[in-house]
Amino acid sequence: EKGNYRHFMEKEIHDQPGACQHTLSAYLDPVSGRARAPDGLDFSRVDRIQIVACGTAYYAGLISRYLFESLARIPVDIDVASEFRYRAPPVREGTLCIVVSQSGETADTLAALRWCREQGLSTAAVVNVHTSTMAREADILLPTHAGPEIGVASTKAFTSQVAALSALAVAAASAKGRIDAAEEARLTRLLLEAPRLISAALALEEPIRALAPELAKARDVLYFGRGVMSALALEGALKLKEISYIHAEGYPAGELKHGPIALIDEATPVIVLAPSDALFEKTVSNTAEVMARGGPVIFITDEEGARRAPAGVRLIVAPGCDDIVAPLVYAVPIQMLAYYVAVQKGADVDQPRNLAKSVTVE
């Protein structure tokens, strides 16, 4: 039920602190400070990870790649399922295939899972529907606990996927001996802070709603960021296009000058995802390049970043947070932005045209 919310999507955006909390507590123990993979998943024996998914679930996978590689030093390949199936890459022993799917029924992702099994790879499925085909067929079930997601545009399932995969990256880092017990406890504690930080990010509703009338007039919107934020830029653009029907693209900030900057003009809003992390200054200089060409910029950052932001940007100030939780925190403003722009346009937010909740045909 929607309760006091106008749409399921709005409710599901607000469900995220609980959804992430439930999901994280399946993988993280606040008492021991340990991250644990389910029985049967021994990361010390995993030499490579192949992630396969579609749409928003693919972007959750892209985010997790940064963590698996930087924390656990496990190389990660990632493909959209419809390409992976037909690319049929050479497989190597020691590869763990992780499929990511809210429904657990997406045809291409399921076919990829079956193909990996046929190749003799061990498989794990990050799924929200625990009785789904993928949940049954994968060797290892990695549940998200978002609860039923009704809105066609994925929100709480996405952040729950990111939460589960982030916790698993910590478990993998520990199993691989890349972090000691103190570091594992520190990362566990940081991840367990996510629900509170997501709640704090939900308080950005009013400033974001205030941006909707102007953004709703745009024909094109660009999103950019660096590192994990480049993956979140793709998710932000997908969210906006699928429910508001505005053309949007996400880019790694450094790619702008290799083409997309040609699109910038006064009528093309640019959303910059810029937490004050190690890459912040580089994102700022990319933002300055956009401003120099007259592009209106919405700069989503934290308090520290706001102090160092280029003059003339519209600031959205998110809660300050550690890198490991930033994708979860910054997901909230981009979801709300898409939501309020769609509402402003009078679009059918929960049932966007041409889309189905679960894509069970190729």
The 3-class SS string of the chain reads CCCCCCCHHHHHHHCHHHHHHHHHHHHEECCCCEECCCCCCCHHHCCEEEEEECHHHHHHHHHHHHHHHHHHCCCEEEEEHHHHHHHCCCCCCCEEEEEEECCCCCHHHHHHHHHHHHCCCEEEEEECCCCCHHHHHCCEEEECCCCCCCCCCCCHHHHHHHHHHHHHHHHHHHHCCCCCHHHHHHHHHHHHCHHHHHHHHHCCHHHHHCCHHHHCCCCEEEEEECCHHHHHHHHHHHHHHHHHCCEEEEEEHHHHHHCHHHHCCCCCCEEEECCCCCCHHHHHHHHHHHHHCCCCEEEEECHHHHHCCCCCCEEEECCCCCHHHHHHHHHHHHHHHHHHHHHHCCCCCCCCCCCCCCCCCC
Judged by CB under 6 A, the stretch of 29-37, 65-73, 97-105, 316-324 that binds ligand F6R is: 97-105
- How many binding residues for ligand F6R (CB under 6 A)? 15
Is 357 among the residues known to form the active site? Answer: yes
Query: Among residues 103, 133, 160, 276, which is the contact residue for ligand F6R, using CB under 6 A?
Result: 103
Judged by CB under 6 A, the stretch of 15-23, 98-106, 211-219, 334-342 that binds ligand F6R is: 98-106
Task: Find the shortest distance in angstroms from Cβ 205 to ligand F6R.
Answer: 20
Task: Find the shortest distance in angstroms from Cβ 88 to ligand F6R.
Answer: 20
Does 153 interact with ligand F6R (rule: CB under 6 A)?
yes
Nearest to ligand F6R of 103, 286 (CB atom)? 103
Q: Which residue is nearest to ligand F6R (CB)?
A: 55
Does 55 interact with ligand F6R (rule: CB under 6 A)?
yes
Task: Find the shortest distance in angstroms from Cβ 117 to ligand F6R.
Answer: 17
Query: Among residues 28, 37, 52, 57, which is the contact residue for ligand F6R, using CB under 6 A?
Result: 57
Nearest to ligand F6R of 202, 359 (CB atom)? 359
Query: Among residues 23, 82, 95, 106, which is the contact residue for ligand F6R, using CB under 6 A?
Result: 106
Report 224-263 residues binding ligand F6R (CB under 6 A). 238, 242
Query: Among residues 21, 64, 102, 160, which is the contact residue for ligand F6R, using CB under 6 A?
Result: 102
Q: Which residues bind ligand F6R (CB under 6 A)?
A: 54-57, 101-103, 106, 109, 153-154, 238, 242, 358-359
Active site (catalytic) residues: 357
